[in-house]
Amino acid sequence: MGKSKPLRLLQIGMGGWGRSWAESVVPKLKTVKAVAWVDANPDALEAARQALKPPKKSCFASLENALEVSDVDAVLITASAVAHAPIAIEALKAGLHVLVEKPFALTLEDAKAVIDVARVQKRTVMVSQNYRHQPAPQLVARLVQEQTLGQVGVVQVDFRRDNMYPSPDMAHLQWAQPLLLDMAIHHFDLMRFILQKDVLELYAHAWNPAWSLYRDPASAAVNLEFENNTVVNYRGSWVSPSPVTPWAGEWKLGCEHGEISFTSRDNNVPDTVKIRKCGKREQKLELPNLEFVGRVGSLNAFVQAIHTGTEPATSGRDNIKSLRLSLESIRSAQEKRVIHLER
């Protein structure tokens, strides 16, 4: 693929989120051209066909079938999480670059296997952590790195949704670890992005409040000790009676000389960032104007990494650290003990 030619993209997994990628994300970048769409479920493939009106012979039931007839540079994996690692390995072995939705894999062993194949094949594997590509986290990460209010000592993160009275057949209720794996991975990844530090140890408590209809814990509280005595208190819930937060949550960063607070990824309200210097009034900050936001930002970072031959910020090698925070939080909650994370 030359730098002037668009990246030829095959997308696999055409469920609700996959169709949203195909309709409102991929077409936004001139540097990408979608050439094939795959789903193992004929109904999902047909729904995608109806929505996208793609050229003939561009929709397939498997990656293997698609690759027999399509010229492709990269694969975007938006299939169910259980299929992420096997599809990524198949695509990498076929010599293709891979952009995969979160969670990257369901076990660390599977994630490591993907990273190893990418290294051997000399191909890029990147996880789309779209929450990083929002104005507030971008600005706050810069404020923290520049130590605008000095060092960060304590961080509070609250995420709340109100699925208190869902329809009992809602699929989400049966998902494995709907909070700590499927959702909190975004928040854990943002902690790593903003603090640019590693976690030394964590302790998690996860539960279902009496009214929860979820199979696995819908609520959790996690304490994470990052390097240099920075502690994060995380509270998340799918079944909270309190007002909902934006998807990225409500954050407060306690620093040496004051507090930084932010919210991000609300469906209706723009991101906000405020700082309050000790003894002074709170001040709302102007947000950076990002050229590519959310998933478009992820896709653009993927294309740029391939063009420049550099490792993207959320490469598989990096993202396994965020995945590990989810998986170790689940283990901590199940075994009711502190988990030490050796480097």
Residues near ligand NAD, by CB under 6 A: 12-18, 38-41, 44, 78-81, 83, 87, 101-102, 130, 182
The residue of the chain with the least Cβ separation from ligand NAD equals 15
Residue 17 vs 292, nearer CB to ligand NAD: 17
Peptide bond into 103 cis (omega under 30): yes
Angle at 10 between CA 133 and CA 18, to 5 degrees: 55
Cα–Cα distance for residue pair 200/312, rounded to 1 Å: 24
* E strand segments, the chain: 7-12, 32-38, 59-60, 74-77, 97-101, 125-128, 152-160, 199-207, 219-226, 230-237, 250-255, 258-263, 272-277, 283-284, 339-340
Please identify which residue in the block is written with the tokens 């997308």: 11
Residue 89 vs 143, nearer CB to ligand NAD: 89
Residue 15 vs 288, nearer CB to ligand NAD: 15
Contact partners, residue 214, CB within 8 Å, separation at least 6: 163, 172, 173, 178, 208, 238, 239
Least distance from C-beta 256 to ligand NAD, angstroms?
33
Least distance from C-beta 330 to ligand NAD, angstroms?
15
Residue 114 vs 152, nearer CB to ligand NAD: 114
Residue 83 vs 290, nearer CB to ligand NAD: 83
Least distance from C-beta 194 to ligand NAD, angstroms?
18
Least distance from C-beta 183 to ligand NAD, angstroms?
9
Least distance from C-beta 63 to ligand NAD, angstroms?
7
